[in-house]
Structure 1
Amino acid sequence: MSDTRLSMIGSRAVLFEANCPFDLAHQERVWALAKEASQWDGVSQAVPGMTNLTLLLSDVPQDLTRLQKDLTSLWVSAQRLEINGRLLEVDLTYGGEGGPHLADVAEMTGLSIDTVIKLHSAQDYTVYAVGSHAGYCYLGGLDPRLDTPRRKVPLANLPGGSLSVAGLQTGVSASAGPSGWNTIGSAKVSFFEPDRSPPALLQPGDRIRFRPVGVMA
């Protein structure tokens, strides 16, 4: 079980982590794992994360070793769950106050600002998981040429709708808060509304396409 780990994250919640790449094929296995585990006795909710799964349990678990064995066995044998989710098109303004790190990303990648925008907006991004904060979508599908490290000094507060990149991921903040990613643009879209049903605008398997509607100096 060296490639998996199970840990308690509350009296009735566990986190199952798999040592695997961040890509769609492995994330589809996480979705399959979540679907199967959600049917187990004693599981109130199964929440897929990035290469991990959180189980909310109805009672305090008595045998974590057995639970990890069951989850690991299911992970090893899991088929990929392909989800043909809906596509959301999002207007995006690159640069300016809403994208203070656009020039930094261009410098780190050795690309022009125009090329960064072209590459970023050319992809359809798949929602791998929803988390970090309410409604936030971890998106896979970033062009490898836009791979950049996280910032050494995070920004203390970014407004909701900020579009950032780090590693091979990109995402739009659903609400104001700190960020250690490279922020290159902004969008006017509400990814989470408490009074909406469901509150989160997107779910795992949905897709986002960014449409550049402006570039700010």
Structure 2
Amino acid sequence: MAGPDAAAKRPHDGISLLGTTALLFEAPGETGLEVQRRIWSLAREAETWPEVREAVPGVNNLLVTWREPPRRLAPLADRLAAAWEAAPPLALEGRTVELPVVYGGEGGPHMADVVAHTGLSPEEIAEIHAAPLYPVYALGSHPGYCYLGGMDPRIATPRRKVPVLRIPGGAVSIGGSQTGVSASPGPSGWNTIGSTEMSFFDAARTPPALLQPGDSLRFRIAGVVR
């Protein structure tokens, strides 16, 4: 079988070759709900193509894998780019899940760093963090983890220069302009500001992940510990 053609090795702007059986499409423009809705739409379209094994939405991107290594990838990249231009926003009607969070204290060991960066008090940070209704853009990083949109830029805080080797499941963290909740223990470069006891992933549950793209998450202040 012939290898990928030269054009596919340097595909269109925003389309990258991953190995011999996958392409990563990165949407142009700023990250936002409208762009993400078009990503969901593109995923649904790509999944109908017979040569596609899987189309996985990410934040502002889409990973497409093929059932077999194609002889030429450039035509598939062309098709993906054309589908993006035609993709209408897809407004998924998902569930809203409320998540009680205790901010600060032992479960929020980096609250002081967010306070130092923003100049806000722990109570103000908790109130600002809990105010929006966060849309779930995509799942990734580890099973059940949700990439969320809509965090208030007033509490945006740079990721940590030295990652933490282990944070617990249920850790509520801020990384740059994003926020999220760890679904299982593991390393993290984000700033953990609180904790929750809700389980985001259970292999015995159908589906295993608590939330899906199109769902929404609302944080509820269960306490602020200094």
Q: CA deviation at 1:213?
A: 0.6
Sequence identity, in percent? 52
Contact 1:88 1:207 survives alignment (8 Å): yes
Deviations 1:8-64 (A, max 9, x none): 24x433322234312111111110110110101111221101111112321112221
1:6 matches 2:16: yes
Aligned length: 216
Q: Secondary structure in 1 aligned to 2:90?
A: coil
1:121 matches 2:133: no
CA–CA distance in structure 2, aligned partners of residues 77 and 167 of structure 1: 32
CA–CA distance in structure 2, aligned partners of residues 28 and 193 of structure 1: 27
Aligned residue identity for 2:120: L
TM-score (normalizing by structure 2):
0.91
Q: 1:2 to 1:43 in 2, by over 3 A?
A: closer
Tell me the residue number matched to 2:8. Answer: none
1:168-187 to 2 correspondences below 5 Å: 168-187=177-196
CA–CA distance in structure 2, aligned partners of residues 57 and 5 of structure 1: 15
1:123-162 to 2 correspondences below 5 Å: 123-162=132-171
Contact 1:135 1:201 survives alignment (8 Å): yes
Question: Of Structure 1 and Structure 2, which has the larger fraction of its residues in strand?
Answer: 1
Aligned residue identity for 2:15: R
Aligned residue identity for 1:79: P
1:53-92 to 2 correspondences below 5 Å: 53-92=62-101
Contact 2:123 2:224 survives alignment (8 Å): no
Q: CA deviation at 1:2?
A: 5.3
CA–CA distance in structure 1, aligned partners of residues 91 and 136 of structure 2: 12
1:166 matches 2:201: no
Runs of 4+ with >6 A deviation: none
1:180-195 to 2 correspondences below 5 Å: 180-195=189-204
Tell me the residue number matched to 1:208. Answer: 217
CA–CA distance in structure 2, aligned partners of residues 191 and 148 of structure 1: 24
Aligned residue identity for 2:16: L
Contact 1:3 1:18 survives alignment (8 Å): no
CA RMSD of aligned residues (A): 1.4
Aligned residue identity for 2:208: P
* Higher radius of gyration, 1 or 2: 2
With 11-20 and 104-113 compared, the bigger mean Cα shift is at 11-20
Q: Secondary structure in 2 aligned to 1:129?
A: strand
Aligned residue identity for 2:130: S
**Consecutive unaligned residues in structure 2, runs of 5 or more:** 1-10
Q: CA deviation at 1:201?
A: 0.8
CA–CA distance in structure 2, aligned partners of residues 45 and 161 of structure 1: 29
CA–CA distance in structure 2, aligned partners of residues 111 and 76 of structure 1: 42
CA–CA distance in structure 2, aligned partners of residues 12 and 193 of structure 1: 30
Partner of residue 39 from structure 2, selected from 13, 18, 30: 30
